[in-house]
Chain A
Amino acid sequence: MQDISKNSGQLYRITYEAYSKFANKISRCKTLKEVGEVSKTHLKYLLNYHIIRLTVEQGKKHLLFSLTKNEVDYDFEEKSEMLPHEKELLEKGIPVFTDKIPMKWLESNINTSLLEKPEMWAWLFNNNGRKVTVTLISDKNKAFTVADLEILKLAVDCFEAKFHEIYLARMLFKKNKSLEEALAIIKSKNIEIQSIVKNQRHIIDERTSEIVEKNKKLLHISALNAHNIREPLTRIQGLIELFPHYNNEGIRQELIPKIKYSAEEMDKILQAVIKMATKELRILKIESE
């Protein structure tokens, strides 16, 4: 069997095939977990790494992702700090190749006891206008070379696009959720308002009918009063109508006493009306207070 490492054309074809398979599968991923699964199976054929860490510029924030052999970690909540070399990269853009590795970070992600002479590589890429820093840890057993940079760039492209897509989907979901929540709140408030309005209407109707009833009563009383007052008055008028047919003595004897009686009755009725009206007014005043 021929040694394929010496046949660069064939090697290129195999790498290309592995990459297209990887890219294809990544593009179909819907979750970060699926990205992790695909990376686990396919990325090892493309390049050597122990961990790849990405920071992706998203507006004013930086989203963090890290890929180990087995999983994808991410921090969408922007809680973790950026590493010092990443900050420097974003500022100056000078690639890093060093054995001074921020161990605290590394130890929290992988088992460092198995590493032999670990090295850290880091670059600043610009993907679709978004600044992406890439940090890669390799060691003697899993050596990374500059020759692998092209394929790493392609892989990072792939990841970054997918991460961006997932991030946007997540934000959309979040926004939709908060919109739904707002909608639910509006709905419940609407129901509340409707019930308040209904209640108010009921109260208004009740008050209105009360007032109408009271008005009717008052009108009835006033009509009755007017009628009652008018009755003795018409008697007085009728008696006066008779004056021309009586002489002075007759007027004094027969008509005046009747006029006096009717006038007194009218006065009694008027006094009763005033008393009743005052009472009604007092009740109205008490009710309105």
Chain B
Amino acid sequence: MNSIILVDDQSITNFITRKLLEIEGVEIPVEDFTNPIEALAHVNENEEMFILLDLNMPEMSGWEFLEHLNTNKFPPKVVILTSSTSELDQERAKKYSFVLDYLIKPLKQQVVAELLRKYCLVNK
């Protein structure tokens, strides 16, 4: 895995996630975006990217973001990180094969640790 990308319109959320990743010993580069359009431009098929994606954003919703990624031949791995507890949203997210998980905020340190272990994002 080359990098982790955080996409959330709230910079504070990105701050929290980044901090939790650091605490859990992530060494690969972490980049964060409050504008999903910019994040989409940054996605590069030649690099292995792991994206933590919010759903409710003003410029472009997480769903639109996923639709764009869906046109890629090799879409990056995505984990949804949202404050929406809606089951409808969870069902909808399952339709994308490259969406690995659906996490509900607030993000806990323990959940981050499990996530890193599960997708081999740390060398622990």
- Chain B's nearest CB lies how many Å from the CB of A151? 105
CB under 8 Å from chain B, chain A span 194-229? 223, 227
CB under 8 Å from chain A, chain B span 63-105? 83-86, 105
Q: How far is the CA of A196 from the CA of B58 in the complex (A)?
A: 51
Q: Is B12 positioned at the interface, with any CB of A under 8 Å from its CB?
A: yes
- Chain A's nearest CB lies how many Å from the CB of B110? 10
- Chain B's nearest CB lies how many Å from the CB of A278? 25
CB under 8 Å from chain A, chain B span 1-59? 10, 12-13, 15-17, 19-20, 23, 56
Contacting pair A239 B56 (CB below 8 A): no
- Chain B's nearest CB lies how many Å from the CB of A257? 10
- Chain B's nearest CB lies how many Å from the CB of A226? 8
Contacting pair A262 B12 (CB below 8 A): yes
Q: How far is the CA of A234 from the CA of B17 in the complex (A)?
A: 12
Contacting pair B85 A230 (CB below 8 A): yes
Contacting pair A238 B86 (CB below 8 A): no
Question: CB within 8 A of B23: which of A233, A235, A245?
Answer: A245
Q: Is B116 positioned at the interface, with any CB of A under 8 Å from its CB?
A: no
Question: CB within 8 A of B105: which of A223, A234, A242?
Answer: A234
Q: How far is the CA of A176 from the CA of B103 in the complex (A)?
A: 82
Q: How far is the CA of A227 from the CA of B20 in the complex (A)?
A: 23
State which size class the interface on A falls in.
10 to 19
A235 in contact with B13 given A241-B106, A245-B19 (CB within 8 Å): yes
Question: CB within 8 A of B16: which of A223, A227, A239, A261?
Answer: A239
Contacting pair A235 B10 (CB below 8 A): yes
Contacting pair A261 B19 (CB below 8 A): no
Contacting pair A258 B106 (CB below 8 A): no
Number of A-B contacts (CB under 8 A): 52
- Chain B's nearest CB lies how many Å from the CB of A289? 35
- Chain A's nearest CB lies how many Å from the CB of B88? 10
Q: Is B108 positioned at the interface, with any CB of A under 8 Å from its CB?
A: yes
Q: Is A231 positioned at the interface, with any CB of B under 8 Å from its CB?
A: yes
Contacting pair A227 B105 (CB below 8 A): no
Q: Is B113 positioned at the interface, with any CB of A under 8 Å from its CB?
A: no
- Chain B's nearest CB lies how many Å from the CB of A44? 105
Q: Is B115 positioned at the interface, with any CB of A under 8 Å from its CB?
A: no
Q: Is A237 positioned at the interface, with any CB of B under 8 Å from its CB?
A: yes
Contacting pair B106 A238 (CB below 8 A): yes
- Chain A's nearest CB lies how many Å from the CB of B37? 20
Q: How far is the CA of A233 from the CA of B16 in the complex (A)?
A: 13
Contacting pair B56 A238 (CB below 8 A): no
**Residue in A closest to B107 when the chains form the complex, CB atoms:** A238
Q: Which of B12, B17, B19 has the most CB of A within 10 A?
A: B12
Contacting pair B16 A235 (CB below 8 A): yes
CB under 8 Å from chain B, chain A span 233-269? 233-235, 237-239, 241-242, 245, 258, 261-262
Chain A hits for B12, CB < 8 A: 235, 238-239, 258, 261-262
- Chain A's nearest CB lies how many Å from the CB of B79? 16
Contacting pair B83 A238 (CB below 8 A): no
| Interface residues, chain B, with chain A CB atoms under 8 Å away | 10, 12-13, 15-17, 19-20, 23, 56, 83-86, 105-109
A-B contact pairs, 7 of them (CB 8 A): A227-B86, A234-B106, A238-B12, A241-B16, A241-B108, A245-B19, A261-B12
A sample of 5 more A-B contacts (CB under 8 A), given A223-B86, A238-B105, A261-B12, is: A227-B83, A227-B86, A230-B105, A238-B107, A241-B108
